[in-house]
A = this chain, B = another copy of it.
Amino acid sequence: MRPGTRLKSLPQRAELLHLSQRVQTLVGDRLSQMEKLIAEYLRSPYTPVAEMGAYLAASRGKRIRPTVLLLVSKMLGYEGEKDIAFGAIFEFIHTATLIHDDIVDQALLRRGQPSLASRWGPELAVLMGDRVFIMAMDLAVQEGWSPILPLLSKTTLRLIEGELIQSHRKWDLTLRREDNLEIIKNKTAHLFAACAQTPAHLTGSPEPVRQALEDFGVNMGIAFQLVDDCLDFVSDEATLGKPAGNDLKEGKVTLPVLLLLEQGTPEDRAFVEAVVASRRFDPQTLREMADRVVDSGMLHEAEEVAAEYARKAKEALGIFSDGPVRDLLALLPDYILRRRF
């Protein structure tokens, strides 16, 4: 990360370092139970379904979505086991979209390892993604009827539509900021919101509680995606698990680029247009793109936008009384702003 681009007035680094430890203390047991469930459901009597399943279970991500779900569940005092199942279910939806995204983006790497599509070929990856999607739906159905079922199906549908619109508007420099926000909400933020509000359904909490949790999730999800889009310009393959400048190469026109087109110099604009028109995404070009985004202050501005959504996320937690879980949840948006990978 280049100096001078990070935000001020964030919690101390030390406080954030302890975050994962505090998550472990509060919901570590339940996260472990969920991992067992995930591994179990990815088993199969059929090779290579079993092989792909084991690969997915091993190359786990940050599990941030189920962590949010389980923390909120604890905050609301839920005492059943369904939150663990839904943690796995929402993580499966996320996993399935990543499998298919890597086909769509022809991405070789995912979390620093070969993507399923590059290791087993796009054909098997299409089917394995389908299996994980439908397995998630099937697991949810097994939990019986609740408002979580339509929430899950609608959220997944929006997620896929977000991907479709993004894919349709590849390298489209006429994309407006509101279009970008719409894509981000669909492909990322609504899944965070679904995870955050699921415990409200499980506990039959009143509507204002559900609404507050949805607001928390949506805003945190937007912040999460915006940070992701910023990191793409300043991180490298070693820390992010994918090459820097990768988004534009894949056709994703993200907020820093939109801001540069809007507020940069005529030279900046001409540069972006030339790169996209020629589809030349060699390392040197991508480095110059990153330099322009940073030097113009647009990366910083995009980070400020992310910080604003993080602030809104924390604000939404205002209706809950203080306590160890609520305080930890309130730190998550800051953690998201600070993350490097």
Contacts and interface: CB of A to CB of B under 8 A. Distances in A.
Interface residues of A, number: 39
Given A131-B164, A134-B160, A156-B134, A126 B100 contact: yes
B142 A157 contact: no
Contact of A46 (B49, B124, B130, B165): B165
Count of identical protomers in the assembly: 2
A133 B135 CA distance: 12
B127 A163 contact: yes
B150 A138 contact: yes
A128 B103 CA distance: 13
A interface majority secondary structure: helix
Nearest to A131: B160
A138 B157 contact: yes
B131 A141 contact: no
Interface in A9-57: 44, 46-49
Closest 5 CB pairs of A and B: A138-B153, A145-B145, A104-B123, A130-B160, A127-B164
Interface of A: 44, 46-49, 100, 103-104, 122-124, 126-131, 133-135, 137-138, 141-142, 144-145, 149-150, 153-154, 156-157, 160-161, 163-165, 167-168
